[in-house]
Amino acid sequence: MSTLLAKIIHQSTYSVKMVSNKTVILVTGANSGIGFETAKALATASPDFHVLLGSRSVEKVQKAIDDIKTTLGDSIKAGISALQIDVCDHDSIKAAKDQIETQFGKLDVLINNAGIIVYEKVDALTSLRRTFETNVFGQLITTETMEPLLQKSAKPYVVYVSSEQGSISERLNPEYKYREIRGDHYRMSKAALNMLSACHRYNYADWGCRVLAFNPGWCVSNLTGEKGREMRIKLGARDPKDPAIALVDVVFGKRDADIEKNGLVDLDGGVRPW
Provide the number of structural domains found in the chain: 1
pLDDT at position 180 over 60: yes
Is residue 249 included in any domain, yes or no? Answer: yes
In 133-167, alpha helices (H): 138-150
pLDDT at position 219 over 80: no
Mean pLDDT, rounded, of the chain = 89
Catalytic residue among 22, 106, 160, 186: 186
pLDDT tens profile 156-172? 999 999 999 999 998 88
Asked if 186 is an active-site residue, the reply is yes
User: Is-contact 214 190, C-beta < 8 A?
Assistant: no
Asked if 121 is an active-site residue, the reply is no
Task: Write out the residue range of the structural domain in which residue 152 sits.
Answer: 22-269
pLDDT tens profile 137-155? 999 999 999 999 999 999 9
Catalytic residue among 190, 202, 241, 261: 190
Is residue 11 included in any domain, yes or no? Answer: no
Is residue 80 included in any domain, yes or no? Answer: yes
User: Is-contact 59 66, C-beta < 8 A?
Assistant: no
Is residue 17 included in any domain, yes or no? Answer: no
User: Is-contact 168 191, C-beta < 8 A?
Assistant: yes
What's the predicted TM-score (pTM) here?
0.89
User: Is-contact 165 273, C-beta < 8 A?
Assistant: no
Among left, alpha and beta (phi > 0; psi -120 to 50; other), residue 33 is: left
Is residue 10 included in any domain, yes or no? Answer: no
Is residue 139 included in any domain, yes or no? Answer: yes
How far apart CA 254 and CA 145 sit, in angstroms, is 27
Is residue 93 included in any domain, yes or no? Answer: yes
Q: What CATH number is associated with residue 27?
A: 3.40.50.720
Is residue 274 included in any domain, yes or no? Answer: no
183-208 average pLDDT score: 97
Instruction: Describe the strand order of the beta sheet including 264-266 as a list of residue ranges.
Output: 79-84, 49-55, 23-27, 109-112, 157-161, 210-215, 264-266, 271-272
In 20-103, alpha helices (H): 33-43, 58-72, 90-103
